[in-house]
Structure 1
Amino acid sequence: MSQETTTNPQSAIIAKEEFRPVDISIAGTPHRIVCPVDEIKNLENGAEFINQKIRDLRREIKHKTPSNEEFLVLVCLDLYDQIQGLQNQVAANAAEQKQISEMIEKINKQARSML
């Protein structure tokens, strides 16, 4: 008896995922990046975001003309700072959510004891 091999439709979709080369420019330097077709827009948006950060920094730094590498380092540090701020915000929100849940539980417990 022979066994038929069945393929998982989901794995077939993953195997057929298309990749395409995308040309982007960051700080005036061209780069070709191969990425999934459904991520091309995100890649282009990311490149534009970084280029805008560089333009913003250029406007802020008038007394010196940093190299592209220095601009990229400054952008990376700025993005790191933003990530840290967001992570702190998420942690604060989680702590606040925990406090709210504890208060609700305490109120429910008091309400149950009154009934």
Structure 2
Amino acid sequence: MTDDQTIPLDKQAPNNQSQNNQRPINGLKSQKAVPNASTSNNSASQSAAAKPAPKTNSTPEPQIKKVDIAIAGVTYPIYCPVHEQEELHSAVSYINNYALDLKRDAPSLSQESLLVLCCLNLYEKIHAHQRSDEDRVQGDKQSEALLNKIMKDAHSIL
């Protein structure tokens, strides 16, 4: 809550006008009114507070580009970092082909149902791939343990 109610109206008007012109960068209004006297006393601290802002902006931000993608005949606008566009197009191609295959099998599905089914099927594929990777790692560990045992037995015989 603001302290505007405790300041007489004739003193609020100039202060409120300056506050409306000085909105924070993030677009939110400040939560507490600042009296005119403290504004003039804090001008050095305000200029110091203004200096760190360029430091946060000095880091290069990735360039974002709007890309229209089409999946199963419907176009969607996507905002994508420029350096990821090629990967996005590859993903769109795979998903579009997958969705079109599903649509051939079930032509009466709505676009929303088609995309939900597509997501569920692709998740199942990803999960199966992860399980096979885990199984492969487990098999490698077992093979290594067996090989170590054979080598240990061979050394004990020699």
Q: 1:3 matched to which residue of 2?
A: none
RMSD: 2.0
Matches within 5 A, 1:56-75: 56-62=101-107, 65-75=108-118
Unpaired stretches in structure 2, ≥5 consecutive residues: 1-57
Matches within 5 A, 1:9-48: 15=60, 17-48=62-93
State which of 76, 87, 107 in structure 1 corresponds to 2:150: 107
Unpaired stretches in structure 1, ≥5 consecutive residues: 1-11
Supply the distance in 1 between the matched residues of 2:157 and 2:62 (Cα, whole angstroms).
60
- Aligned partner letter, 1:108: M
State which of 99, 108, 117 in structure 2 corresponds to 1:54: 99
Highest relative contact order (Cα 8 Å, sep 6+), 1 or 2?
Answer: 1
How many residue pairs get aligned? The number is 101
Seq. identity, %: 36
1:77 is displaced (CA, Å) by: 1.0
* Offset from partner CA, 1:95-114 (integer Å, 9 cap, x none): 11111110111112112222
1:17 is displaced (CA, Å) by: 4.1
- Aligned partner letter, 1:89: S
**TM-score, structure 1 as length reference:** 0.75
Q: 2:134 matched to which residue of 1?
A: 91
1:26 is displaced (CA, Å) by: 2.1
- Aligned partner letter, 1:109: K
